[in-house]
Amino acid sequence: LASRCDVIITCVTAPPDVEDAVLGSHGVRQSVRPGSLIIETTTSTPATTRNLASVLASKNVEIVDAPVSRGVPAAENGTLSIMAGGNQD
C-alpha cells in the first residue's frame, strides 16, 4: 500500500508499534516511495520520531510528528487536538 500513496498516516498504540509499522519487516519503509510524507499520529517519544526520521531520510521520505491528544471523549465529541512538528518545508 505504501508504494501507492504520497501521504501515509500512522496511528498505533505505542512507540514499539510505531517502529514496527514503519521500520518492521512488513513496514512502510519496505515500499514507501521517495518524496512521500508520513504523518505519525501516535503519542510516542521524541527519540522514536527522530529515529524514524533518520532512517526515512535515506529514502527521501519526510515525517511529521503529529500526536493526537485528549482521548476517547474528545474523539466522540469531535474535539481532538493534533500537535505537529517536523521539517518546516
Helix (H) or strand (E) holding 7: strand 7-10
Q: How far apart are CA 36 and CA 33, in angstroms?
A: 6
| Range list of β-strands (E), the chain | 7-10, 37-40, 62-65, 68-69, 81-82
Q: Give the pLDDT score at 71.
A: 83
**pTM of the predicted model, to two decimals?**
0.88
Identify the residue with better confidence: 27 or 75. Answer: 27
What is the per-residue pLDDT across 1-56, written as a single tens digit (0 to 9) for each? Answer: 999 999 999 999 999 999 999 999 999 999 999 999 999 999 889 999 999 999 99
Residue 65 phi, psi dihedral angles, 5° rounding: -85, 115
pLDDT tens by residue, 77-89: 999 999 999 988 7
Please state, as a whole number, how many other Cβ atoms lie within 10 Å of the Cβ of residue 78: 6
Biggest alpha carbon distance in the chain?
40
